[in-house]
Every structure is written in structure tokens, then in C-alpha cells.
A and B are shown apart, each in its own frame.
Chain A
Amino acid sequence: MDLNVWILSLITWMPFVGALLIMFTARHRPRAVRLIAAVATGISLLLSLVAYARFDGDVDAARFQFYQKVALVPPLGISYEVGADGIGLVLVLLTAIIIFAGVFASWTVETRSQEFYALLLVLVTGVFGVFVSLDLFVFFLFYELAVLPMYLLIGIWGSSAQIRPRGLFGWAMRETGVGSKEYAAMKLTLYLLLGSAFILVGILALYMAAGGASFSFLEMEGVAFDPVLQRWVFLLFYVGFGILAGIWPLHTWSPDGHASAPTAVSMLHAGVLMKLGAYGVVRLGMGLLPEGTHDWVPLVGTIATINIVYGALSAMAQTDLKYVIAYSSVSHMGIVLLGAATLTEAGLNGSVFQMFAHGIMTGLFFALVGLVYEKAHSREIFRMGGFGRMMPGIATAFTIGGLSSLGLPATAGFVAEFLTFLGAWRSAHSWWLFPAVAGTFLTAIYVLRVVKQIFWGAVPAGGEFHDLPDARGPEWVALVLLIFVIVLFGVAPGIALGPIDTATVPLLARLGALP
């Protein structure tokens, strides 16, 4: 068995195997459940690192490596076809890191831990599958596999928030039950299924237009689609994947969903699933539809700048800690799409780098919010205070995450944002630079305000919060791993930019966007 051929399949299916093991062997043994989950995701993580090390960074040789193809339904041209280029490689690594950390961060889930971990692992297989699939049919199957378990995970293990129905649509908010976890789960699932309907139509349209012989991405890449078709299919992909990427104004599922989801699910969802959307736009939209891309990038980039500023301002307005982080994701996903829309090497590299960086830092954030909530039983920012003395470890980690979020140099967030700035200025719409930079300032305001309110100052009188414990054993694994990655990729961004560049340059060349 050649490892280079099998490695992506092993990474992808290992969590699924873990899920099966959990369902069939570890009934009512929570410790075994966690152990299996940790080992399965640990193997995926190790193998992703191996793949990373083995990736051939030579630009001409790069393209899709670790290639494997097994025909599934030959008459329809459906096959199990996987491979990873630089972009896929980095995102596979991201997924592996987040799920591994997520398992440790939710070490204390007690209720139905068997089902919880099984669903979580199945979901992760779906995510890995999306990033490595080169067959659009299988891609779509994996995509659905990544979205659907979310409904159960939020609906069963989630938590509800208090939101007062008000305003013009107050009656509608009351009727739909805004704030409850069931509401959030339903909203998220319906929204994302709506998106996948768009995507499915787009994929089928391309399949038909390409002759109906194959779903293979590599074969479709060679087809020059009709410009009018490209225009409409790109829009389908943009809206379909964009919903998952949290584009304004289709983003409102994400704050509710992330705030209601249990810790590991928020980590995975904001950290990785939103990247599926951005990845879809870049891979399928820009990769297959060069002329459609040129038609729509002005809109994509402009909406991305709205995301950045609007998301940051919304985050500033929140009083629930989890909502602050959730809205910060809306803002940061704007950087991802803005970078892509610049159609420049710097911008697109920044975009992919931000997918990675934001995944890690938002994973860290949600892990920390989960820990704070578990210990203080509160998410109300303005009722907390002075936690730094009681939980210095959590305070430090939160500050580092926050600094990365506001784009402080020597953290991964800076590299991503800076590259995007460069790209924005070199793009056809150089004004995009200014809202993007303004977004970093707004982020500095809301992040430091939250840090000051929760961790600094004095503990509020009343004795509600005293002797809160700091993070413990397994929880530290998640925090230390994520912090290490944030700093490492901030100090030595070349580790990720090397592979990324081998994928973005050919992509831009096909788009005719390289000088």
C-alpha cells in the first residue's frame, strides 16, 4: 500500500471509523468514547502533518498530489477521486487541528457523550471529504454529510439564549421562537440546505454543459463553458457557498447557530465549516468559471467589505460573549472573500491564509468561551469582571486569540490581513483597502473592550464569581495546541504560504489575472 496514494483517504475516513467504533464498542463507557475520539482524530492529525511534509512544493509539480481514483458509477462518470493541492492541504491540516483540539475542549460533555462524539466524527469525515474530493458528485455528498449532523448536535447538545422579540417583525420572531436552541438548529439547517440546493443546480448545470460524461473536477477544468452559463452558475455557487461562508445579508444563521452550539461544534463550525463555503467559491467558482468570476468579483469584494465592517460593528453591540465571537467570524470571513475577490497573488494567498488563521483563532475563542461558561455559568459580558486573577491561563489564551483577531503582528491573523490589504490595493477596486483596514480598528475596539471587561478590573461584588478554577488537564491540550499554531504561523508564515502559493498562482494564471 503506497502511503502517498492512500493518505488522504486515511485522513478522511479515520474519524468515520472512530465513530463506528464508538457506536458499537464503547456503549456507556464515556472514557473509552473520548479515548477513541482522541486517537482517531489524533491519527488524522498526524497523517495530515505527514502529508504536509511530503507535499512537493515545486510549483510546476505541485497541483493535485496524493491522487487516488476509484470508479463508482462509470456510466454516469461518478468516481471516488481525491487529491490535494496547496489550498486543500492547508485546509485539511486546519480541520485536523481543530477537531483534535475540539475533542479535548469538550472533554467534559456528559450527556449522551457516545452519540455526541459519533456525530462529531461523522461530520468531520464530511469536512475532510469536501477538501480532498475532486469529483463533484462525491464532493456534494461529503458536503451534505458535513452539514446535516449539525442539526442534531445543536438541537440536542446546544444552549439557548435570551432574545427579546421587538420591532416590525416582532410577531414573526415570537412565532419562530428566536433564541431557543431548536430555533437555531432549524435555522442553520434550513439555510444551509437552501444553499446546497443552489450548489446542486450549479453542479448539474456544469455536468450537463460539459457533456454529461464525468463529474471530475480535473476534466471540467479543461472545458471552456459558455460565458452566459458561467455568469449564472457562478452566481449560484456564490450564493450557495456564500451562505455557508456567512456573506451579508445571508449570514444571520451563523451568530444564532454558533451561539447555540456546544463548544466543539462551535469550534468546528466557525473554524472549519464556514471555510467550506469560501473554499467552494474559490475552488468551483473561480476554478471552473473564469469569465463568471470576472463578472461577479466587484460584487463579491464589495459585499466582503460590508461583511468586515458590519460584522465588526455588530460584534461590538453584543452583550453575550458567544455572540461577540460569532459576529467576529462574520467580520473575518469578509477578509477571506475580499482577498479572493482581489484576484491578485497577495490577496488570494491572504484569503487562503485567513481561512486557516481564522479557523484556528476562532476555534481557540470558542474553546475559551466554552471554558468560561462552564466555570462561571455566565456569558453576559457586563456581569463578569476580574477573572484574570482567578483564571490566568484562560485570560492569557483569550488575549492571544484576541490579538490575532485584531491582526497583531507575530500572530497568524496579521499575515492574512496584511496580504489581503496588499491585494486589495493592487486590485481593480483599490478602495476596498480602506474598509478592510477600518475593520481591524473596530476589531481592536471590541476585542480589547471584552478582554478588559471580563478579565481585567475588579471582580463584581455580590460573590457570584469567586474561586473560579482555571483550565485543567485535557483542556490545556486544546489551548496550547491552538496558541502554538497561531504564533508559529504568524512568525513563520512561509510554512503555509509555500504550499498555498503553488495552488494560487496556477489558478490566477487560468483566470488571466497574473501580470
Chain B
Amino acid sequence: MLELKKFWWMIKKELISLKRHPGRLVSIIAFPIIMILLFGYGMGGEMTDLPILVVSQSDGNLTDLTLDTIKTTETYHVVEVIDDMDEGKHRVDNGEVKAAIILPSDYDDDSSQQKSVTLYLDSSDQMASQILESSTQGIFYRLSNVVAASQTSVSTQNASIEPSLVHSLSNFKDDISLHINKIYGNIKYIDFLVPAVLGMTVMFSCMMGMGATIAGERETGELARLFMTPTSVSTVIGGKIAAKLLIELFRALILIVMAILLFNVSIKGGILQTFIVLVVGALCFVSFGIFFSARTSTQEDYAQIVMPFSMPMMFVSGVFYPIETMPWILQKLAYVFPLTYLNDAMRGIMLKGQTLGDVWFDLVILLGFTLLFFIIGVKRFNRDV
């Protein structure tokens, strides 16, 4: 009963502080919103309206159809349709547009066996060039199906590397029909990103917040006063964890709601299960914070110690790219970091619609890390200030 009262005081103290410092409350709410906006719009969105030119040297129905198709495709913003190929290439070279789609003079000529369309591309912008390449391939693939009688091919000229090099990308007249069956539906990059951004945000705020609470109170002496009372280290630390957890879960809830409202992210496994996974993740990172703050006497020391762990964890744990695409050494390293397991569980629940039972392994690992960090943290914890 007495210990519960002490726990409650730590929570009450945090809530009173927040109430009396509206700025802090705003920060707690704003941080997840900024994170989700930053990652959602900055990294997770689709690229549209990329500025291009069309160099049309032919007239006729096929040319008109092609121009209409290009103009109505969201990926492109057709700045101008011109007929001078050199001017088109020049405007790509000087960066005015990202690409020029060059339709040859025999494009509408029925007698022509091979219609060679050229995509003159600024490949210095890797993201844009990849999207333009695949989008253009898609358009001419569809057109070649429509105009089955004629053969159409598209070639890409890489403007920044070697403009003269022309190579045929593919022959669109293809007899093979490919059917794609996406088992988890059409998942966009933002869908892939949001579960991990939730995990990463929880990681950062738990680890940094715990440092502020423990190392900060050590620095200012409040912790010493608590430790001079007949109270065990685990009760004081447990109270701190409970208080921190409550705030972090509030943040996590805001993150989830914002992800749904702003990016229409679907949570196939349900909000409750997502929330439970986040609770387990938050517990793990709060304990991680306890582990590192056990013997640090100032916030500055804590930040210096934690940074070499938190930054690599963010990049290696599959937040932005699948772990499988990383070099083998980083893949091995990823499995040492708890964030990897949190991301895996979050994606399982949110994207694949898995249940807590399906992600049990991730949860057990996270709880194991929690227990390990908490026990070592409390053992190492120094009452001394």
C-alpha cells in the first residue's frame, strides 16, 4: 500500500508538472505529430508532378494518344511539348526538367517496324529517375498493348552519366502475362514506415526522457532526497518508470491517431494490439534508460553515453529500409538492438494483421531486454549523488 502511494506520487508529480507547464504538454503532443508529418510527407509520400518535357517529332493518332496518356499521368508534370530534340536534351542537362520523353519522327508511321522512344533522364536524382523510368515503362507497355499491331520500344538515355548511351530497356510486346498477388494488399512506403516510426519515436522519447528524469534529478538533488527516505531503489525507479510510461503511451496514442488521420494508415491487427506492443516497447526502452542512467550524474553525461547506442539503433533496426537489404554485418548487428524486434512486431500487427500470439517471439525478446536492463540497472544504481 505504502509502495503504491510512492508510485502514485511519481505519476502525480509528472502530471502536476505538465499541468503547470503547458509548454511541456504542447511539446509532448507536438513531438509525435512533427515526427509523423516529417516522415510521412518527407519520406513516405509518393512522388508526383515531376517536371518533364515531351519532344514530339510526329503527328497522328498514336502521338495524340501518347501525349494524352503522359499528360494525365500523376507522376508527370508536362512543362511543355516541343519538337526540337536538342533543346529538350539541353533543358534536361541544365536541370530545368527531370526528363524528356522523345517520340521519334516515325512514331505514327504504320510501316515502321520498330518505334524507338527515348527517355532522356537526369539520373543524378536517384529517387526521381527510378520513378520516372518505371512509370514511363508502364505507360508504353500499356500503349503497346493498345496498339498491338506495331512494335514499340523505349530506350533510356542517362543524361548525367553518358548522354549518348542508348540502350533498349525492354521490349513491350510481350507474350508473358504477369499476375501479381500481393498477400498484404497494396502497401505503400508510408505504410511500411509508420509502424517503425512509432517504435522509433517511443524509443527516443523513453530513452531521452528517462535520462532527464534520473540523471536530471540526480543533478538537482531531488533524487537524493528520495533516497534518504526508507525506500528501496526499485520502488523509486519503478515509480519513475510508471510515470514515464504513462506519458509515453499518451504520445504513442497521438502518433497512432495522427498516422490514421493524416495518412490513412490501416492498422490491420487493431489499435489495442498495436498499443500493447508499444507498451512493451516503451517498457523496454525506459529500462534501457534506467540501465544507462544508473551511474551517470548529469544529463549531459547521459546524453553522451546513450547517443552511440540510439543513433545506430535507429538506422540499423529496419526503420527506413528492410534489414535484409543491409550488409551482412549490419544485419547481424540489427538483432542485438531491441528496436528491431519492436519494429517487427509493430509491422506484423499493423501491416499483416497478425495477433499478439503471432509476434510472441518479438514480445518475449523485448520483455527479456526489459527484465535484463531493469535488474542490472537497479543493481548498478547508486544512491549516491
To the question of whether A and B form a pair in one complex, the answer is: no
Q: Chain B interface (Cβ within 8 Å of chain A)? A: none
